[in-house]
Structure 1
Amino acid sequence: MTALIPALVGALTIMVPIAYGSSLVWPVWGAGIPFVIWAAGAVLAAWPLERIQRSLHGYRDPTTDELRRIKEPARRALHRTAVSAGRIRLMIVDAQEPSAPATAGRTVVVTSYAVSSLPSDRLEAVLVHELTHHLGLYTVPVFCHTQLMLPVRALRWLLARIWRPVRRTWQVAVSWHTPFGFLVTFLLAIVAATAIAVSAIPACVAFVGAALSRVSTDRAEFQADTAVAGLGLGPQLLAALEAAIEAGHVHNDRIGRLLALPPLEIRRAQRLRKRLAH
């Protein structure tokens, strides 16, 4: 959990100035409003309603063909991990990676690539990997990291869209050829530039903190792989990872590229090889 401290510092770097500004407008309760909104967003992001999961994360029910392919591997995976079928809700996310992001609650997510492409024994290993995220405390660091990233994601979303009104008013001003349109564009550009300048330092601290805390989510994946190997499916999981790597079904996200890390699937395969070699 100590790996989450940089993410916490980054999130507070964003939230504290907002709380201070809010307290100047509303002296009594203003400082707490941003943190209440943050907590509400965290609850919403983790809320186990299928409608939210479908809209925010793109999860869906398995198709008839996917159910046919996954039925027997899922039965064996549940038996191997001693998890009852009633405890989980199996859903699919359309992705080309062998493993889906770890989830909290009762939802277990498998990628469409794993269901459609992996042999039965390798699919079972992937399912056991996903199920072990729900055993013990493996999902706690992932859950905490997700909640701490909410202010960072909100700031990133804002900075990515802050110039859109400026571009739109500029296009209108050019098409209408009116001085008022150019004046509005100029004022909006000043506001956007000021917002970027004010948020530059907090944004840098937040993004660096999020990058440094990435180790917490990676560690959860490594722990799940270790659990799979302990249940006797290490070779099958390694084969699934190697097949995905050879087929090019791996990717590196923005933080991974920033830290110059190999894709997570490659690092998982390397650790599994070392473990299975002993």
Structure 2
Amino acid sequence: MTEPTYPDAPPPQYPTSPPPYPTVPPQHPHGAPQPPAAAPPQYPTTAPEYPTAAPPQYPAPAPQYPTAPPPQYPTAAPQHPTTVPPQYAPPPPPPHQPPQQPPRVPAQGFAPPPAPPQPPVLDPTVDIDPHTGRIHMAARQRGADATTIGQLLFQLPHFLCSLLVVTLVSLFLPEPLNWLLIGVWVASGALVFHRPTEKLLARYLFRMRPALHSELTRLEPIWHQVTAKAGVSPESYDLWIEDHKAINATAAAGHIVGVTRYALETLPDAQLAAVLAHELGHHRGGHAWATLLGYWYSMPARIAWVVFRFAAVIAFQIASIFSLLGALVVGVVAVVLVVAVALSFPPLLLVLVTPYLLAAVGRRSELRADIQAAELGFADAMIEVFHGFLRDEEQALAIAARENGGRAVRPGLGQRLLSTHPDTHTRIRRLEDWRAAAATGAR
């Protein structure tokens, strides 16, 4: 494509000065048109007439408003209730329910493992909650009451008899060893407070054993709550089991609380707690270690008495084979020997009386342990336990009466005086008296 060609014309000439403006207006060829002469507008000379009607009349009387008095407001502050509103106790959370799983089919020849034991649910009717009892540690964990002091005093004749036996045995030893034997025996009483020695005595002397894990699952929660109410450390004592078909418990040595397996399996939680509280009362009063200490120091005298009786019986039987006169002579010699030793060592005569005194002190200590259990809140549960004892005693008496031809079998006076436990009726009456006195004092 080619560009267009433009002619070579000169550029336009632009004026360099403005054109002159005419000084005379231009003349119209026919003359300037003349506008028509219009008349000036006529304006009114008078003001317009407005209506003279009177304005509307409003009602003269003002509207009547109600003249009722204003409401009376109280001038005194409202009285709020002075009673404390009940505290809202949130409902306990629902127990966790594990997801249900289909039972597993065990393989052939294998037995499924046993289910773990479930912890017991304590009886809610008896207050054995540690949060409502005394949960601080008491300043006096254990001590020695009047019955403990009396028991130690009445055991003194047995100790002197044992000392005589040890001294007679030491005469057969050379000079340094005889005094060593006496000193070792006197110091051996400290082993009563040695826990490994206590366990040996409990196992072989009291026929007890440590509690199994399944048994501790039942015992430990109740025991911890009993010790919390007493302000005692639960770890200070060991829980043992006695395999015996009777409801019983034992405060053995200084740190062992034993209970029969029958009581563990049959007693409700509240009654089992009451039984444990009773045994804890024996430990806190010092009854257990005083009994074991007296038994320990009287052991040489008991062994010597058993050996003497065995030797006298054997000599009497051998002499009776040859002649009746020889047997009579052996008997007289044995009696004279006992009387001579007793006269030469007067404390031996007290041994004939101390069993009755120790039994009386033992009955007193049982009543004191009952009261201590009642002070921890187990009076009603202890009474229920004793009523169970009454039922068992009545059944035993009925069986003994049938075996005895229908005649009632009652313990004699000597048996009652040598009993270390008071009769059940006396224990129930003492607890009922204590409960009545406590209720009167509470009012």
TM over 0.5: yes
Query: Is 1:59–2:205 an aligned residue pair?
Result: no
> Does 2:407 match 1:259?
no
Deviation of residue 212 (structure 1)? 1.3
**What does residue 368 of structure 2 align with?**
223
Structure 2 distance, partners of 1:20, 1:65, is 49
Residues 259 and 154 (structure 1), Cα distance of their counterparts in 2 relative to 1, 3 Å cut: farther
* Kept in 1: contact 2:166–2:300 (CA 8 A): no
Is residue 238–residue 257 contact of structure 2 (8 Å, CA) maintained in 1? yes
Contact 1:152 1:207 in 2 (8 A): no
**8 A contact 1:97–1:114 mirrored in 2:** yes
How many positions carry a matched residue from both structures?
264
Q: Shift of residue 118 of structure 1?
A: 1.1
Shift of 1:108: 1.9
Letter matched to residue 209 of structure 1: T
1:240 aligns with 2:374: no
Q: Give the distance between the partners of 2:430 and 2:373, measured in 1 at CA.
A: 13
For 2:258 and 2:271, how far apart are their aligned partners in 1?
A: 16
Residues 72/122 of structure 1: CA separation in 2 closer, same or farther (3 Å cut): same
Q: Which residue of 2 aligns with 1:37?
A: 185
1:182 alignment counterpart? none
RMSD: 4.3
Match of 1:269, as an amino acid?
Answer: I
Q: Give distance in 2, aligned partners of 1:89 and 1:265.
A: 29
Tell me how far 1:243 sits from its aligned partner.
0.6
- Contact 1:90/1:109, CA 8 A, preserved across alignment: yes
How far does residue 229 in structure 1 lie from its aligned partner after superposition? Answer: 1.2
Q: Which residue of 2 is the match for residue 47 of structure 1?
A: 194
Deviations 1:32-68 (A, max 9, x none): 844641431x234443212342122212122455334
The match for 1:147 is 293
What letter corresponds to residue 111 of structure 1 in structure 2?
T
- The residue identity in structure 1 corresponding to 2:158 is A
CA distance in 2, matches of 1:19, 1:154: 7
Structure 2 counterparts to residues 111-190 of structure 1, below 5 A: 111-135=260-284, 138-139=285-286, 141-164=287-310
Distance of 1:114 and 1:239 partners within structure 2: 14
- Shift in CA distance, 64/195, structure 1 to aligned 2, threshold 3 Å: farther
Alignment deviations for residues 124-156 of structure 1 (CA, whole Å, 9 cap, x no partner)? 111222233344xx11x4423432343444433
Return 5+ residue gaps in structure 2 as ranges. Answer: 1-145, 397-410, 438-443
Shift of 1:240: 0.9
Q: Which residue of 1 aligns with 2:158?
A: 11
C-alpha contact (below 8 Å) 1:60/1:92 kept by paired residues: yes
Distance in 2, Cα, partners of 1:218 & 1:118: 24
CA distance in 1, matches of 2:336, 2:183: 24
C-alpha distance 10-235 of structure 1, shift in aligned 2 (>3 A) = same
Question: TM-score w.r.t. structure 2 length?
Answer: 0.48
- The structure showing larger relative contact order (alpha-carbon pairs under 8 Å, at least 6 residues apart) is 1
Q: When the two structures are superposed, what TM-score results if normalisation uses the length of structure 1?
A: 0.70
Q: How far apart, in 2, do the equivalents of 1:146 and 1:51 lie?
A: 13
Give the stretch that moved more between structures: 158-167 or 227-236. 158-167
Between Structure 1 and Structure 2, the one with more helix by share is: 1
The 1:46/1:195 distance shift into structure 2, 3 A limit, reads farther
Identity %: 22
**Equivalents in 2 of 1:261, 1:89: separation in Å?**
27
Distance 1:38 1:217, change over 3 A: farther
User: What letter is aligned with 2:417?
Assistant: L
SS at match of 1:264: coil
